[in-house]
Structure 1
Amino acid sequence: MKLASFNVENLFMRARALNGSGFSAEGREILKAQADVNAILGKDKYTPADKRRILELLDTLGLKKSDESKYAILRQNRGHLVKRPRGGPVEVVADGRDDWIGWVDLTLEQVDENATRNTARVIQAINADVLGVVEAESRPALVRFCKDVMPAVSGTPYDHIMLIDGNDDRGIDVGLMTKKKFNIVSIASHVDDEDEDGVIFSRDCAQYEIETADGNKLIVLANHFKSKGFGSPPVSDAKRKRQAERTATIYRQLRREHEFIAIVGDFNDTPDSDPLAPLFNQTGLKDISELQGFDDGGRPGTFKNGTASNKIDYILLSPDLFAKATAGGIFRMGVWGGKNGTLFPHFPEITKEAEAASDHAAIWAELDI
């Protein structure tokens, strides 16, 4: 059987702040402002300092003069957060969470249709029996993608599709798709897992039990750790380390009853990093890239240009499962490589960066189970 992981970077709708060439400083600022303002808006009482900060963040988001801007939407569903008097300054009129109902959303826009079809081409080409999907919007979006887009590129839709909404309200969740005879037997979500610092996972550490075509049980933990994209590095590093520690604990608990366990997804850090040390140094898990003959095309990374510093997508295997691995590799045909797209081959249908399937390559493993 073939197991794969692919960060599809949303299939249909995507926050406008995330679009464009690469991930811009402006995009990072917008995402951080949206997260920060919603954190303040959730407070029971707004202090004068809170109100000043709310106005600063609304200004960053372009929401001081209107409830809608290029990048964000202020939803005032009941009551009012702000008033905008003619000829006067904008003011926060709510004194706390109980005075109004609403929040700040990010403005979405449709992903390029060619890019969506190229995503389908990647999935068709790797032809995985079990596919971990990162940055998917919802289960209905994955179902629609399989039903409508896969056949458009002569691909075969997946038979079983599952996704549980996680903790990120931007529609970047983790899910799983499997072929016929690879039944999803059980699902467990870890969205509510907490430690002394609060909720652990930025999205989820979704836990799937799969019965393979040969009757074996495979446990897949699909994950998407905290990004380095915004927030000061110590904060994001600490969050990823908490996530790695909790995932390692879940893995050790599962090992008491299961031989074959895989942890897949986008960990947003390199194997030698301190945040990922709990997974790489304290569990005995094996990276599929350690397999003799692993085909990385001469580039160890999975993100953008494929340098070692961009090795952030993984398939980690329990020792018993790694012993069953027969092949593995990185599939880059959906990625636009370098400024001019010339660093490595890609699909001929990708004629510019905006048409790339993703900034992430897919990673795969053949397993004799």
Structure 2
Amino acid sequence: MRIASFNVENLFARAKALNLNSWAAAKPVLAAQAELNALFEETVYTEPTKAEILKQLGILGLLTADDSEFVRLRKIRGRLLKRPRTGPVEVVANGRADWIGWVELKTEQVDELAMQHTAMVIRDINADILGVVEADSRPLLKMFSEALIAEVGGTPYDEVMLVDGNDDRGIDVGILLRNSNPLADMRSHVFDVDAQGVVFSRDCCEYHVDTPSGKLVILMNHFKSKGYSTPGDPIGAKRRERQATRVAEIYNDLQASGVDRIVVMGDFNDDPASTALVPLLGKTDLRDISTHPNFEFGPRKGTFGSGNEKDKIDYILLSPALFAKATGGAVFRKGVWRGPRTKNPWEIYPTLTADVHAASDHAAIYADLD
């Protein structure tokens, strides 16, 4: 059996800001959008809150119009702003109850060749169970499997499942399965809370799979990004640590209930040496498939971007009963762009000739089990 995890970075439509040439260019847009939506939820808009709302609207180019290049101010009911012909813009809403609305990221279609390369990666790793991160929706994920994977000569998956998570950008976690390993049960953890509030910025979706030899449980994750911070989460590492702690609790509860074959996988957005992941990597008996003696990293030790060791952020963790059955695994990089001057280059598809055509910034990772 092959189990894989792949951050597909959206299949059909991606936020325009994320299609910029660099993360540095996208970061201010994503940070301002996230901060504004958090500020909008305040019960009372104090004068400092109103000043911050105006500041972030200015960063996004929304002071004089509801549309800008990368975002849109959606207003459903009530009034947020007063925009006089002369003089400064004012926040006239005094709290969340005065209006309903939000700032949404504009999207644009993913490059057609990039879609094809994503399908080629999935075709070539040919996993029996494939967990995906940043998939648009279940209907689109199912359409992708049936149409695009088949178009490149791959075998479409028999079962496709995805549950909307807590992120409003359509970057959810899902799973694709063959008939021999049908989905038996599932549980979302979007409502899980701790002392600081909601734990998961996306989800830790719990998939129970019937295999020919018994139950297998997949905990599919996408932890908080390192990219920027938001009010209430000034340091992304703290949020990731909370998420790692909760996943470890879910894992331990499953073990206590008698389930011994468990996979925890996905994009954890941090490297193995980080303190944020200690509750999961250091305080449970889970084993990272990349530590297996037959695991093949290729020319780099990371899974994201240029593949540096600090960019090892995609994981497949196995319970002891599963790790004992592991025969190896690998990082599959053919869909990740690299420049012509990259040292220790990895093999890429011949048709991948520019960054815009990359399947993803993430390599796929897989584990092979006997």
- TM-score bin (small chain): over 0.9
Q: How does 1:123-272 map to 2 (within 5 A)?
A: 123-212=122-211, 214-231=212-229, 235-256=235-256, 257-272=258-273
What are the equivalent positions in structure 2 for 1:268-347 lying under 5 Å apart? 268-338=269-339, 343-347=345-349
CA gap of 1:138–1:341, structure 2 versus 1, over 3 A, is farther
- Aligned position for 2:81: 82
Distance 1:265 1:141 in 2: 20
- CA distance in 2: counterparts of 1:51 and 1:234, whole angstroms: 20
Secondary structure of the structure 2 residue equivalent to 1:306: coil
- Dislocated runs of 4+, deviation >6 Å: none
Gaps of 5+ in 2: none
Q: Distance in 2 between matches of 1:78 and 1:359?
A: 39
In the TM superposition, residue 49 of structure 1 has moved relative to its aligned partner by 1.6
Long gaps (5+) in structure 1: none
Q: Matched residues in 2 for 1:172 and 1:341: separation? A: 29
In the alignment, the residues of structure 1 paired with residue 312 and residue 324 of structure 2 have an alpha-carbon distance, to the nearest angstrom, of 23
Match of 2:363 in 1: 361
Partner of 2:186, secondary structure, is strand
Match of 1:78, SS state, is: strand
Partners of 1:338 and 1:349 in 2: CA distance: 14
Q: Provide the C-alpha distance between the structure 2 equivalents of 1:339 and 1:241, rounded to a whole number of angstroms.
A: 37
C-alpha separation between the residues in 2 aligned to 1:294 and 1:45? 54
Q: Compared with structure 1, are the counterparts of its residues 143 and 159 closer, same or farther at alpha carbon in structure 2 (3 Å cutoff)?
A: same
- Secondary structure of the residue aligned to 2:3 is strand
Alignment partners' CA distance in 2, 1:151 and 1:298: 30
Shift of 1:339: 6.2
Provide the residue aligned with 1:350 in structure 2.
352
Structure 1: which amino acid aligns with 2:321?
D
Q: Which residue of 2 aligns with 1:118?
A: 117
SS at match of 1:162: strand
With over 3 angstroms needed to count, the CA separation of the structure-2 counterparts of 1:22 and 1:262, relative to structure 1, is: farther
Residue 215 of structure 1 deviates from its aligned partner by 3.4
Aligned residues: 366
Contact preservation (8 Å) 1:20, 1:354 = no
The percent of aligned pairs where both chains have the same amino acid is 53
Secondary structure class of the residue paired with 2:35: helix
Q: Deviations over 1:34-75 (max 9, x none)?
A: 111111111222112211111111111111111011111101
Does the 8 Å contact 2:299/2:346 carry over to 1? Answer: no
Q: Secondary structure of the residue that 1:170 maps to in structure 2? A: coil
Give 3-state SS (helix, strand or coil) of 1:74's partner.
Answer: strand
* Higher deviation after alignment, 263-272 or 229-238: 229-238
Q: Secondary structure at the match of 1:141?
A: helix
After the TM superposition, which of the residue ranges 347-356 and 146-155 deviates more from structure 2?
A: 146-155
User: Match of 1:150, SS?
Assistant: helix
8 A contact 2:2–2:368 mirrored in 1? yes
User: Is this contact kept in 2: 1:305–1:338, CA < 8 A?
Assistant: no
> What is the CA distance between 1:137 and its match in structure 2?
1.4
Instruction: Give the superposition deviation at 1:31.
Output: 1.0
TM-score, normalising length: structure 1: 0.96
Structure 2 length normalisation: TM-score?
Answer: 0.96
CA apart distance, 1:148: 2.2
Contact kept in structure 1, 2:333 and 2:347, CA below 8 Å: yes
